[in-house]
Amino acid sequence: MIVWRRFHLAGAAAFTYPSAGEPRVALLIPCFRETRRARYFADVESEEARRFDPEVLAGTAEQLRGLASRPNPPVVRNAVVVFTRQGEPGLAEYDRDLFWDIFGVPAFEQYLTRWSRLIATECDAHEGLHVCGPFARRTDWNLDRSPCACGDPRPRLLLRPGFSTPALDLCAQQP
């Protein structure tokens, strides 16, 4: 068990914040290597989390919906980051509106492999998700290689309407 944990932590990727700055990020899933600015909290209302005083919440759409529906939702200053993995429905326009209404911040979606490796990340332009590293070579995805308003040269995965999240499973074997 100890060996597994070491292996897991050594192999875990660091979280990548999708916009400018280095805000304090509360990670709601325990799959990333923790850093000084990005820490995992099982409960964002815990005393430890309050001391950390996160500016960003990063979790699944379901987790963030749960927090948004609380009578006293947590304060978020910069953004929410929504993780979508294979088999998960991902972020709906309804969710974006909900998070904006409740938290008053924009939502950035990120696609992850089942091992939480970043596949694609939404930017400030909110026009598709920039595809990361080897995943940009995929030919079966609808990739837009035109310049993005954010200045990031990586191609963008155009999702709407409805990129099929089962396709993310392929990334586990065939990046």
Indicate which single residue of 81, 102, 120, 148 sits in contact with Zn ion (rule: CB under 5 A). Answer: 148
3-state secondary structure 70-112: CCCCCCCCCEEEEEECCCCCCCCHHHHHHHHHHHCCCEEEEEE
Structural contact between residues 99 and 107, judged by C-beta atoms closer than 8 angstroms:
yes
CB 19 within 8 A of CB 52: no
Indicate the length of the chain as a whole number.
175
State yes or no: residue 123 binds Zn ion (CB under 5 A). yes
Site for Zn ion, residues 40 to 69, rule: CB under 5 A? none
The residue range among 5-13, 18-26, 54-62, 144-152 that interacts with Zn ion, by the rule CB under 5 A, is 144-152
Q: Omega into 161 within 30° of 0, i.e. cis?
A: yes
Q: Is residue 150 within the footprint of Zn ion (CB under 5 A)?
A: yes
Q: How many residues bind Zn ion (CB under 5 A)?
A: 5
Nearest-angstrom CA–CA distance, 175 and 165: 15
Q: Are 121 and 133 in contact (CB under 8 A)?
A: no
43-51, 107-115, 125-133, 165-173 -> range binding Zn ion (CB under 5 A): 125-133
Of 40-48, 110-118, 119-127, 157-165, which part binds Zn ion (CB under 5 A)? 119-127
Q: Which is nearer to Zn ion, 34 or 124 (CB)?
A: 124
Residue 144 binds Zn ion, judged by CB under 5 A: no
- Minimum CB separation of residue 123 from Zn ion in Å reads 3
Q: Which chain residues interact with Zn ion by CB under 5 A?
A: 123, 125, 148, 150, 152
